[in-house]
Amino acid sequence: MARPDIQQVKQRFGIIGNTPELSRAIEIALQVAPTDMSVLVTGESGVGKENFPQIIHQFSQRKHGAYIAVNCGSIPEGTIDSELFGHEKGSFTGATGERKGYFEVANGGTLFLDEVGELPLATQARLLRVLETGEFIKVGSSKVEKTDVRVVAATNLDMVDATKRGKFREDLYYRLNTVPIKIPPLRDRKEDIPLLFRRFSSDFAEKYSMPPITLTEEAKAMLANYRWPGNIRQLKNITEQISIIEQSRDITPDILKLYLPNNEMNLIPTHADVGGDHHTFNSEREILYQILFDMKKDMNDLKKIVHDLISGKITHSDILEKNQSEVNERSLVPIVVNNDMSTIISDSPSGGKIIPNKVEDSAIIDEQEYGEDAETETFSLEEVEKEMIKKALERNNGKRKNAAKELKISERTLYRKIKAYNLEDL
User: How would DSSP label each residue in 252-292?
Assistant: -HHHHHTTS-GGGTT---SEEEETTEEEE-SSHHHHHHHHH
- Tens-binned pLDDT, residue by residue, of the chain (426 aa): 556 789 999 999 999 999 999 999 999 999 999 999 999 999 999 999 999 999 999 999 999 999 999 999 999 888 999 999 999 888 877 778 888 999 999 999 999 999 999 999 999 999 999 999 999 999 998 899 999 999 999 999 999 999 999 999 999 999 999 999 999 999 999 999 999 999 999 999 999 999 999 999 999 999 999 999 999 999 999 999 999 999 999 999 999 999 988 645 444 433 333 343 444 444 455 566 667 666 766 777 777 776 676 666 676 666 666 655 554 444 443 434 444 433 433 444 444 444 444 433 333 334 444 444 444 444 566 777 888 888 888 888 888 888 888 887 888 888 888 888 888 776
What local confidence, expressed as pLDDT, does residue 16 receive?
A: 94
Q: Are 232 and 226 in contact (CB under 8 A)?
A: no
pLDDT tens per residue, range 340-359? 433 433 444 444 444 444 43
Q: What burial letters (b/e) apply to 146-156, b meaning 16+ CB within 10 Å?
A: ebebbbbbbbb
CA distances from 36 to 56, 143, 145, 174, 355 (A): 10, 26, 20, 16, 68
Strand partners, 272: 279
3-state secondary structure of 144: strand
What local confidence, expressed as pLDDT, does residue 324 receive?
A: 55
How far the first Cα of the chain sits from its last, in Å, is: 57
Q: How many CB atoms lie within 10 A of CB 34?
A: 14
CA distances from 44 to 181, 184, 203, 257, 295 (A): 12, 8, 24, 24, 27
How distant is the alpha carbon of residue 281 from its chain centre?
10
Starting at the earlier edge strand, list the strands of the sheet with 335-337: 335-337, 343-346, 354-356
Residue type, 278: H
Q: How many CB atoms lie within 10 A of CB 172?
A: 23
- State the chain's maximal CA–CA distance in angstroms: 86
pLDDT tens per residue, range 52-98? 999 999 999 999 999 999 999 999 888 999 999 999 888 877 778 88
Q: How many CB atoms lie within 10 A of CB 251?
A: 24
| Ramachandran angles phi, psi of 29, nearest 5° | -60, -40
Q: Are 85 and 103 in contact (CB under 8 A)?
A: yes
Question: Of 144, 248, 199, whose CA–CA distance to 18 is shortest?
Answer: 199
- The model's pTM: 0.61
What local confidence, expressed as pLDDT, does residue 151 receive?
A: 96
Strand partners, 99: 87
Q: How far apart are CA 396 and CA 393, in angstroms?
A: 5
Please compute Rg for the chain using Cα positions: 27
